[in-house]
Structure 1
Amino acid sequence: MIKFMLKSFILCSVLLFGVLIGMQQANQGMIKMKGYNDPDFQGAFQVDSEKTGEFDASILGNEVTSQDLQQKQEQLEQIEAFNFFSHIGKQFANIVSHGISTLVDLFAQWINGFLE
């Protein structure tokens, strides 16, 4: 299970990285097609360093700061949404799991009684 999750995470990371590279290539293609460098066109992902040693990052023209990320994390922690379908799914999974384990136990007892 851990191998599967690791492979899935690596695959998703590679695909996300590929999408960002594709956006950058499309941007460069637009600049080449236009024939001159327009300052309104921005790259898909830009990182600029300042003299103070701090970095400014932007994805698709939207500035990303650590404060934004902290605010989003606090927002997610405050939202304690109850997902009805998730709850029903968990109950169904527990019922199925308990039922299968009961059937396996009964089958094992039947085989054990048959062999004795």
Structure 2
Amino acid sequence: MVKWFIRFSIALFLLFFGVLFGMQQAHHGMERMRGYADPSFPSVIQIEKNGNGELEAAVFGQTVAASDLQEKKETIQELKTFNLFSELGRQLADAATAFMETLLSLIGRAFD
């Protein structure tokens, strides 16, 4: 099962980046066909160095910054602080586990 999951993950990773690479190649092909770069058609992935020497990335024309990722991470952590359904599911699973352990121990005692 682990071997299959690793193969599946690698295949998914390759397909994802293959799609991005293909889109980038199509973008370059359209530029060559037109003969000029049209700013209304942003590149799929664009990586540049800014004045501070930091790398800036843009995906489909939308800039992606580490600060944006940090803000999203904090937002997700705030959302994960308390999720009623997750807590109810966890308590239900704990109760079912305790019930089955008790039931199996009673059955085991009955056969001894």
Map residues 70-109 of structure 1 onto 2, 5 A cutoff. 70-79=70-79, 82-109=82-109
TM-score (norm 2): 0.64
Work out the CA distance in 2 between the residues paired with 1:92 and 1:14: 39
**Structure 2: tracts of 5 or more residues without a match:** none
Taking structure 1 as the reference length, the TM-score comes to 0.62
Percent pairwise identity: 32
The alpha carbon displacement at 1:51 in A equals: 6.7
Q: SS state of the match for residue 42, structure 2?
A: coil
> 1:108/1:48 Cα in 2 relative to 1: closer, same or farther (>3 Å)?
same
Number of residue-to-residue matches in the alignment: 108
Instruction: Give the Å deviation of 1:83.
Output: 2.4
RMSD of aligned alpha carbons = 3.4
**Distance apart, 1:58 and its partner CA:** 0.8
Query: Structure 1 regions of 5+ residues with no counterpart?
Result: none
Counterpart of 2:82 in 1: which secondary structure? coil
Q: What amino acid does structure 2 have at the position aligned with 1:69? A: L
